[in-house]
Amino acid sequence: MKLPLVTIPPLARPVAVPLSTPFVQYNPAAASPLVLVCDHASAAIPETYDRLGLDGPDLARHIALDIGAARLTEALAERLGAPAVMAAFSRLLIDPNRSPEEPTLIPEVSDGTVIPGNLNLTHGERATRIAEFHEAYHQAVAQAMRKQRDSGLVPAFVGIHSFTPCMQGGSPRPWEVALLWNRDDRLARFMIGWLREHTDFTVGENEPYSGAVAGYSMDRHGGAHGFPNAVIEIRQDFLEDEAGIADWTELLARMLADMQAALSPFSQKPISQ
């Protein structure tokens, strides 16, 4: 049976707060091979950036963060006893799931909205954002993966994202949940099959995004090292309140526990170091 569709307005979120760190860690000492990673967890922008010239409502939209993804990641980390790393800054400041070479790393326009604070950036400002936010966050993710590896586990990168019911005024997206992958489909294929067996959701396979195109974090910390990896995408209208997040936490926790029991990559040597 499908989970109930959430229709209430999104929860309030911080939009412009000082940042003491570009990332947040949960359960760093946990012994699970699963490392939960949430690239688009926050809408926070340091005060010195003056909200990038945007109004408050824009910073509560999907262009600033993946709605519901942070709370889902936290809840899954608690439920599974797994470590988690989450970005503490908005994707509008700099997108952690983009390569430093990509034009959309610091977006000038997002879903039709111009981002004034990202226009005409100097090389120095771009380099500062890469070093202080993008790279600092990725070093934290890399450290979390290494910690599990050094403890004798084969760490699995499990990204948590959410996607909009439609994009740029287009047609409604038919998927309610999706799995993304690039080099390694071991985890994604198991989860796709599990969801189709245990729910009647429409499951996207590298839809609405492809892990080969929008999978920088997954590939940097998973595929490039031969570690198991996948990204779970949940449609945002399911994650707009705590009840919806609780339902998805329970469902995904069952799925991920079954995955660990059924697959062997967590006790095998990775493909490469």
What is the tens place of the pLDDT at every residue in 54-112? 988 999 999 999 999 999 999 999 999 999 999 999 999 999 999 999 999 999 999 99
Distance (Å, rounded) from C-alpha 3 to C-alpha 5?
6
Q: For the chain, what percent of residues have pLDDT higher than 70? A: 89
What does CATH list as the number for 23-263?
3.40.630.40
Structure tokens at 125: 């400002």
pLDDT at 171: 82
CB 28 within 8 A of CB 81: no
Q: Where are the domains of the chain?
A: 23-263
CB 257 within 8 A of CB 199: no
**DSSP type of residue 231:** E
pLDDT at 20: 64
Going by pLDDT thresholds of 50, 70 and 90, the confidence category of residue 237 is very high
Could you tell me how many residues make up the chain?
273
Distance (Å, rounded) from C-alpha 193 to C-alpha 134?
34
pLDDT at 169: 66
- Cα end-to-end distance, the chain, whole Å: 42
Residue 230: phi, psi to the nearest 5? -165, 160
CB 26 within 8 A of CB 147: no
Distance (Å, rounded) from C-alpha 38 to C-alpha 230?
12
pLDDT digits (tens, 9 = 90+) for 110-140: 999 999 999 999 999 999 999 999 999 999 9
Instruction: Using the predicted structure, report yes or no on whether residue 28 has a pLDDT greater than 80.
Output: yes
What kind and span of H or E run contains 218?
helix 216-221
Burial label, 125 (beta-carbon count in 10 A; 0-12, 13-18, 19+): middle
Structure tokens at 235: 């449609």
For residues 227 and 209, the model is more confident at: 227
pLDDT digits (tens, 9 = 90+) for 170-202: 789 999 999 999 999 999 999 999 999 999 999
Q: Which amino acid is at 69?
A: A
What kind and span of H or E run contains 242?
helix 242-262
- This prediction's pTM: 0.90
Query: Which residues, other chains included, contact 244 with Cβ-Cβ below 8 Å and sequence gap of 6+?
Result: 3, 4, 6, 68, 238
